[in-house]
Structure 1
């Protein structure tokens, strides 16, 4: 009797089929390892990894692994070298070609979704080409629309009941019923962009689809003559359609803020922060992001530079107390930074005959001796020892994440430029002197 009960206990486990993910990468020599992640609304969950040997790898999946959207990372940086796929209790076998991308040899889910994307891309390209023709045949246009409709309907039918169906339905494009000229089509395409997307769908939430869709909307529908107004209006639209899903909304706004920050678009980045993102952040969980946002806002062009002090002959001196110069350069550097040691001599030579400019050189250091030895060559600069390196409060206040970094201030200590390197610093000052 005990043996029978034991057999009944383990039977469900044995019936759970174990599946595999395997693939071939071309060219083989370019790839060394594959890492598998499961996509979630706010993070990517590490699952497993395997070496790529002679262009091939294989991963055995745990029988309890949940269906959903997954990601294979095959090189660094991870954000660039990856592709997503569906796992739904079936083997997934693919070929990845550096030139052609990914194709699936097995997995009905992925084959249907990939074919749908490929067919849609071809038809949309055909429509774009049509609008580029000087003489437009309306019957040709309606043939394209009929083809667009047929592909959408067929893909929805084939994927019914599958995970892939969620994405195919959400990607449904705007389909005109009559001929439309290019401006009308473009406006309607934007107007209907979010209508098929259900931001509350858990399948879409556990993928990159919602993020990708929002990014595309913000950056595609832009008036080239007034980009920032377009960006802000588009961001407003994204906030509106994600109003019931604050976790998704927060994730999208964080990525948007980072994108505009990296592009040095202070106007839009600070618009996102002040109007929306700050209200969604948790003071404890998001402390680092809050600090970064505050520093970016406080060091915007036109803002008064964050004040700081340092030991001097009079005891202590503050940036705000300095006077008598037309310009001040706040530069962050390190005695262990090769780029800094290459650029500081250039800055020193450039400022040789410019007594109306004062340099405040903040050395971000872990140890003092090497810094003291290096600054002997730069006695013209006001040298400030930034003990603790990145934990020092001065670089934190300025949002500095790399060295060398430069901030140019006018006589009133307002930030007037943030050049990327010493050559751009020189070029900017040449326009002012």
Structure 2
């Protein structure tokens, strides 16, 4: 009888589970509109709760302590508001213009300070160098030069706040500067610096949004000939039978998937699937979404939201000898290059009883509906951009993405581009 080893848990910081609330107020939306609150695990949003708008706005109740990034998603207009939590009440107001969020007012100290710090950092990176260049062209004492000098002085200073009172803001900004900002004054991080930081960091690493960019930086700085060795070094130090080790392994697999590093993805996905211990939700999700779209797998069904050019209610209801599933968007330049070539071959596709089903990652309903007027095949969209449910379900990281299914909805090809699709289907 096989023994199943229980995965080692990261030592939890002992904190009282204190409930806090996240309040959003806007007078520009109708009662009844839903919104969703997400916390963060690495680079993945985790649904925390949902709320229905009342006369004053939305209020989310968070039952457990949490320090880190949060996001409120409002399906109307595909809007999002990024926030932070320091285990204290969050209070934000905003307005809507042309169905888009504007004029955000951060009313709680944590989000107000974080927004101000981030605003100064962005301006330091983008505007400050330009101000220095422009400054020499203006006469001393002129109103514009005086104002410019004041802005240069403001942006050159570090914004002060009480780090002890704002532990997440301090954690985020200090480690962002340490690992993700490269300038003449920065000391280059060694491989061991990164390994030790990821291994020894608090639980705020997973909730900070820093993990994935730090891992990408780690890969970029690893010797190309031994990149797999650098990955193994980090994973061995973390131990992939721990929650953090599994989260990092999951992040690596998804990075390899996004950047089409197929050999590395295969190696570490195999490592993940061979684990005999309890697997955390993050890694289990990565394994599951990859399993959904591997060659020979039955493509998971999807119920249409508002399909055009069909009376079918779902992918499975579409009867054809083969189905081409196309993930695309009206704003995708590569899609605009490839879609006309499918249109050219559409008569041949129909003659062979091959149906095309387009699932769009558009967020703008008007742009989407204008584009599909020229597309002769089945199209559907949730109008939620990359928040669309099928992006996660079918492990879609970019558009266009293709799958070819047989009549039993099994995946028989995953063409990389339209040329591969045409060749696989023997279109002339």
Query: TM-score, with normalisation over the residues of structure 2?
Result: 0.48
Structure of greater relative contact order (alpha carbons < 8 Å, 6+ residues apart): 2
If each structure's helix is expressed as a fraction of its own residues, which one has the higher value? Answer: 1
Query: TM-score, with normalisation over the residues of structure 1?
Result: 0.48
